[in-house]
Amino acid sequence: MPKALITGITGQDGSYLAEFLIKQGYEVLGMVRRTSTINFDRIRHFQDRVTLVQGDLLDQVSLLNILEEHKPDEVYNLAAQSFVPTSWTQPVLTGEFTALGVTRILDAVRLVNPKIRFYQASSSEMFGKVREVPQSEATPFYPRSPYGVAKVYGHWITINYRESYDLYACSGILFNHESPRRGLEFVTHKITNAVARIKLGLDSELRLGNLDARRDWGYAPDYVRAMWLMLQQDAPDDYVIATGETHSVQEFCEEAFRFVDLDWREYVVQDERFMRPAEVDMLVGDPTKAGETLGWEPSVTFGDLVRLMVEADIEALKRNARVPHLDYA
């Protein structure tokens, strides 16, 4: 039975990847950091089918010990400070987790067992002020946030360790991917949660920042499949994973409100607080290489993604699930 370690298993992608790997017949280890209250909401429904181990990307010894004791065949490094605005308010911490954390885990792999196959969660945020449209594996980076800068470091250190130590290390340059498990601070879930609340009479407005920003939004379960495919090839490589379609934040709002028969213009208010010091105006990926080499393609359209997220939020509110309202994001 192959064994995989997932850092960031409590996050959106970690939870979907764990479920996917269990179905593929893997023994799954999930690294969790110590918190004063348990935050296992996304993994509770399959917690009895994974082994949770305590560790932190800030702590090298914890990473070495986990690899030595549990001997995984594959490591998926998904843990990061992943919210772009927080990277301006906590730039050093973001660099520690999201940049140097990658070196810590790569070094642990190199020292404990260089045969481990390694996946790094790189990001389309690295393209930032885009140099070409659409963005492919060959597009130069121009990050626009401390988060993007940290991800560029993580991307290149992964390639450097592959070339220096002959590791099977891959970097997946994933464009935005969403789901009902997305953190509420990210714009898609912020919108669908607000639409559900407004429809059910629990809220009356939705305050957003830049409505013109464009993203290539896909469905998270499709994207974790691509991570696994990258580690099953003859040779390690880097891949763009995207839908190839771009939509604005406004278009996302239009679609989400339309689904519940409401007009977005009556509820959406632009608020300076949610504007960023430097913006990534437009992302759209070219997933040709992933299609040709991995046989990967997305299965959920933009319209379906919006609708499944609105439906899930309405269902959650009807079940009285406590969906917190966030004021800072």
* Residues with active-site annotation: 123, 125, 147
Q: Applying CB under 6 A, does 194 fall inside the site for ligand GDD?
A: no
Q: Applying CB under 6 A, does 155 fall inside the site for ligand NAP?
A: no
Q: Applying CB under 6 A, does 14 fall inside the site for ligand NAP?
A: yes
Q: Applying CB under 6 A, does 215 fall inside the site for ligand GDD?
A: yes
Q: Applying CB under 6 A, does 215 fall inside the site for ligand NAP?
A: no
Q: In the bound complex, what is the minimum distance in angstroms from residue 268's beta carbon to ligand NAP? A: 22
Structure tokens at 220: 């998270």
Q: Which is nearer to ligand GDD, 71 or 273 (CB)?
A: 273
Q: Which of 123, 158, 243, 246 binds ligand GDD (CB under 6 A)?
A: 123
DSSP bridge pairs for 210:
none
Structure tokens at 36: 């004063």
Are 62 and 55 in contact, with CB atoms under 8 Å apart?
Answer: yes
Measured between alpha carbons, how far is 309 from 22 in angstroms, rounded to an integer? Answer: 24
Beta strands in 86-241 (DSSP E): 117-123, 168-174, 177-178, 206-208, 214-215, 218-219, 238-241
- Residue 62, contacted partner among ligand NAP, ligand GDD, none, CB below 5-8 A by kind: none
Measured between alpha carbons, how far is 226 from 243 in angstroms, rounded to an integer? Answer: 12
CB atoms within 10 A of CB 202: 12
Q: Applying CB under 6 A, does 121 fall inside the site for ligand NAP?
A: yes
Element (H, E) at 22: helix 12-23
**Which of 60, 35, 47 has the alpha carbon at shortest distance from 9?**
47
Q: Which is nearer to ligand NAP, 82 or 145 (CB)?
A: 82
Question: Position 50: which residue type?
Answer: V
| C-alpha dihedral sign at 86, 89, 92, 93 | negative
Q: In the bound complex, what is the minimum distance in angstroms from residue 306's beta carbon to ligand GDD? A: 13
Q: In the bound complex, what is the minimum distance in angstroms from residue 57's beta carbon to ligand NAP? A: 4
Considering only residues 217-236, where is the footprint of ligand GDD by CB under 6 A? none
Q: Applying CB under 6 A, does 174 fall inside the site for ligand NAP?
A: yes
Q: Determine phi and psi for 32, rounding to 5 degrees.
A: -125, 150
Q: Which of 15, 82, 139, 179 binds ligand GDD (CB under 6 A)?
A: 82
Which residues have C-beta within 8 Å of that of residue 184, sequence separation ≥ 6?
Answer: 190, 193, 323, 324, 326, 329
Q: Applying CB under 6 A, does 249 fall inside the site for ligand GDD?
A: yes
- Residues that bind ligand GDD (rule: CB under 6 A) add up to a total of 24
Structure tokens at 2: 């192959």
Q: In the bound complex, what is the minimum distance in angstroms from residue 182's beta carbon to ligand GDD? A: 8
Are 173 and 123 in contact, with CB atoms under 8 Å apart?
Answer: yes
Give contact residues for ligand GDD (rule: CB under 6 A): 82, 84, 123-125, 175-176, 185-188, 190, 208-210, 213, 215, 249, 274, 276, 279-280, 283, 329
Give contact residues for ligand NAP (rule: CB under 6 A): 7-8, 10-14, 33, 35, 39, 56-58, 78-82, 97, 121, 123, 174, 176-177, 183
